[in-house]
Amino acid sequence: MPLTAAFCLLLLLLFSIAEPANSQAPRREELAISDSLWGVITTAAGHQKMFGFSEDEMRGYGPDEFVLRSVWTLFRNGRSVPRFSGTLSKNMIENHKDAASLLRTAYGVTDISAARMLPMAPAESWGDAEFPDSLSAVAVWRKLLEQDGVVSITPMFFQYPPHLQKLIVRLLLGIRQSQPWIDQSFNRQQFFQYSGLDSAASLDDWYTFAAAPWNEERLGQSATLRSGAFQALRATDRRYLAFGSALLATHVSNAIAEFRSSDSAQPMQAMYGMEVATTLGTIRILGSNPDTVSTPAVLTIDCGGNDLYRGRQAVNIPFRETASVLIDLAGNDVYDSDTTLSLACGMFGAAMLVDVAGNDHYRVRESGIGCAWYGSGVLMDMAGNDRYVTDRAWGEAAAHIGAAVLSDWGGDDEYVCAQQSQGMGATLGAALLVDAAGNDRYIARDDGNPTPIYLNQSVAMAQGCGYGRRADLGDGHSLAGGVGALADADGDDYYSAPVWAQGCGYWWGVGICEDRRGNDTWRSGKYSIGAAAHFAIGCKVDAEGNDTYAVGYTDAVNQYLGHARDGSIGIAIDGSGDDKYHLKTHCGGTADLGSLALLWDADGNDLYIMDTLKVATTDSWSDTPPLGATSGYPPFYNFRDDIQSYGVFLDTGGKDVYQLNEANRNSIPWKRKPADNSRWLFTRSPRERGIGVDMEIRKTSAGK
């Protein structure tokens, strides 16, 4: 099917924001579902079906004013989902060092195009009409302080080496230039009216207001009486927010790059700190010795040492500070924020944290480590073996109304959370977690969010999750999800989450999880590894390596590895390698209740283990086998009867083994046991079709 004009524009946006670079781990282009491959599927099915849904079909599930245009477009042609996923992850990986590009990508997938090809002043210019290029850093510093009415000349500044002086001044200018644009994102009087707060309100008060739709409940269901929170969603100008955030990120990136390229950019020793109060807020310079920092500042620069940061750091105070920036230049640092809202958390503004070197440990109780609430939050760690911990929720790239970015440039890292983290995009939000290299561990804790409806397993909503607010059982104010993405470029990685993770979509959200290279282990259960439910889209792609899926994980139940339910699209693709799959019912390319699902293993000698599979020959929901199948339903006598389910399994290369439980082989309702070069159908009704295709394709040395 041809791409729609809207999707072409979206792809153009995504490609245009990526600057030319050599990806560390290129993704095979043939991981798109080509016309010829789709022809194989439809021939096997004996039925032509576009792998997608029209907007009219999707509107049957109910209106939601916050559904993203990009989501509508993806639903029209599900075959475009892997292309979208590949383009998004490509931009994330190739631009992992460019904070502004990552922000443009995040806002771009939420329908906001701003700051494209942002023109910036050359390195020899201050980029501000008030400050002639001929001025030294000392002169600019003096003038900035004079404008703020600061009497002290801060003599310590003049003792700093020139490249540190320039770093301080450039960061201040970046905060200053972004301020009017971020301010313009929020009409103060409107937001004061909606919230009942004002500029003197505390950060906690604003957080309570912003998070109310996702935090407050009645009898276990989403419900809040803070109706102004829903009005605030409509009143936020995300275009100005995107522009101001990208402007700040560009200044920060350029300032650090200039500092690091300086001839005198050696480890600084015997440096002393200073603190200055300005109208922008407190400016804090920390020396080269180990420091313990417990109070926030608008701008913090640390010159070295193994530092300990406590409390709230790199978070702006709404309607008093538009931005907050923390730069740590060296040392093995501990960011132990035993609080909410810290470590690159943008609250009605923008916040950035950049750690240049060292093995670092980041911890936040809730909402931090790259988090957005009506704002932009960016954390970049440029080197080292690092650990990221979110005790509760909304960390490690989590966004509500805005953009959140966590970029780790290298090292063997560990990411740990309870729930709704590690690339989780909620309403009008996009969250990007990108790790460029190293053997990494992504863990959503087994005890993070146990829920009775899921057999007391923990509901993660993590590791590339688009998450919407379901309130049809609560106050009725359901809110469509955003876009959540996790991209890992290289390394032998470990992914673990009990329920809802690893490229999952919920309630109009889109979740993407891509791993480009390495021998990876995927441990998860329901609604994971390319799964979606309730008019959502989930996609997981592992491009290269010998990978294992749920092998040895006895708590895996069903509904994973390319599964979709209730008007959704779920896709799981493995590009190459000798892989092992542990399958149960409702997984491996199974569709349920008017959905489209695909599991595709493109190449390699694979093992499909079904040793615990017990399926009867009835048509009940629990009797849905893996590997190309659908659930069956009696007529609904409404729009659902016109929506088709398509469950597809593809294996297009290699010698494969299908290990089936001997005791149940005769009861499996396939026409025959899957094998190399075989095709099978699983049809429960004209609108519910399952298709399995195994194509043993041997490639020559030329790759054909």
Tens-digit pLDDT profile for residues 314-348:
999 999 999 999 999 999 999 999 999 999 999 99
Domain end (from 235, 264, 291): 235
pLDDT band at 14 (very low <50, low <70, confident <90, very high): very low
Q: Is 165 contained in some domain?
A: no
Q: CB count, 10 Å around CB of 502? A: 36
Residue from 533, 537, 676 nearest 72 by CA? 537
Q: Is 513 contained in some domain?
A: yes
Q: Please count the structural domains in the chain.
A: 2
Q: Is 677 contained in some domain?
A: yes
* DSSP track, 198-211: -TTS-HHHHHHHHH
What pLDDT does residue 660 have?
82
Q: How far apart are CA 626 and CA 563, in angstroms?
A: 10
Tell me the pLDDT tens digit for each residue of 86-113: 999 999 999 999 999 999 999 999 999 9
What pLDDT does residue 577 have?
96
pLDDT at 481 over 90: yes
Q: Is 552 contained in some domain?
A: yes
What pLDDT does residue 122 have?
74
pLDDT at 428 over 90: yes
If one compares 684 and 464, the residue with the highest pLDDT of the two is 464
Buried b (16+ CB within 10 A) or exposed e, 676-697: eebbbbbbbeebbbbbbbbeee
Question: Is residue 443 within 8 Å of 458, Cβ to Cβ?
Answer: no
Please report how many Cα atoms fall inside a 13 Å half-sphere around the Cα of residue 190, on the Cβ side: 14
Q: Is 103 contained in some domain?
A: no
Which range, 6-15, 547-556, 616-625, has the best average confidence (pLDDT)?
547-556
Mean pLDDT across 293-304: 96
If one compares 297 and 704, the residue with the highest pLDDT of the two is 297
Token pair 């919407």 is found at 468
Q: Is 652 contained in some domain?
A: yes
Residue from 538, 647, 649, 467 nearest 81 by CA? 538
pLDDT band at 519 (very low <50, low <70, confident <90, very high): very high
DSSP assigned state of 664: G
If one compares 471 and 556, the residue with the highest pLDDT of the two is 471
Structure tokens at 676: 């190399």
Residue from 689, 672, 677 nearest 652 by CA? 677
Mean pLDDT across 555-559: 90
What pLDDT does residue 51 have?
86
Mean pLDDT across 291-305: 96
pLDDT at 516 over 80: yes
Residue from 179, 408, 184 nearest 298 by CA? 179
Q: Domain range holding 498?
A: 409-704
Residue from 379, 378, 385 nearest 358 by CA? 385
Residue 262 Ramachandran class (φ > 0 left, ψ -120 to 50 alpha, else beta): beta
User: What percent of the chain stands above pLDDT 90?
Assistant: 74
Mean pLDDT across 492-520: 98
Q: Is 686 contained in some domain?
A: yes
Q: How far apart are CA 704 and CA 701, in angstroms?
A: 7
Q: Is 350 contained in some domain?
A: no
pLDDT at 17 over 50: no
What pLDDT does residue 151 have?
57
What pLDDT does residue 675 have?
81
* DSSP track, 581-642: EE--SSBSSEEESS-EEEEEE-SS--EEEETT----SS-SGGG--SSSEE------SSGGGG
pLDDT band at 233 (very low <50, low <70, confident <90, very high): very high
Computed over every residue of the chain, the mean pLDDT equals: 90
Q: CB count, 10 Å around CB of 217? A: 13
Mean pLDDT across 7-23: 37
What pLDDT does residue 43 have?
82
Question: Is residue 508 within 8 Å of 498, Cβ to Cβ?
Answer: no
Q: How far apart are CA 267 and CA 277, in angstroms?
A: 27
Domain end (from 169, 204, 235): 235
pLDDT at 135 over 60: yes
Domain end (from 212, 235, 258): 235
The mean-pLDDT minimum among 271-275, 299-303, 362-366, 513-517 falls in 271-275
pLDDT at 28 over 70: no
The mean-pLDDT minimum among 369-383, 520-534, 656-670 falls in 656-670
What pLDDT does residue 21 have?
38
Q: How far apart are CA 68 and CA 46, in angstroms?
A: 34
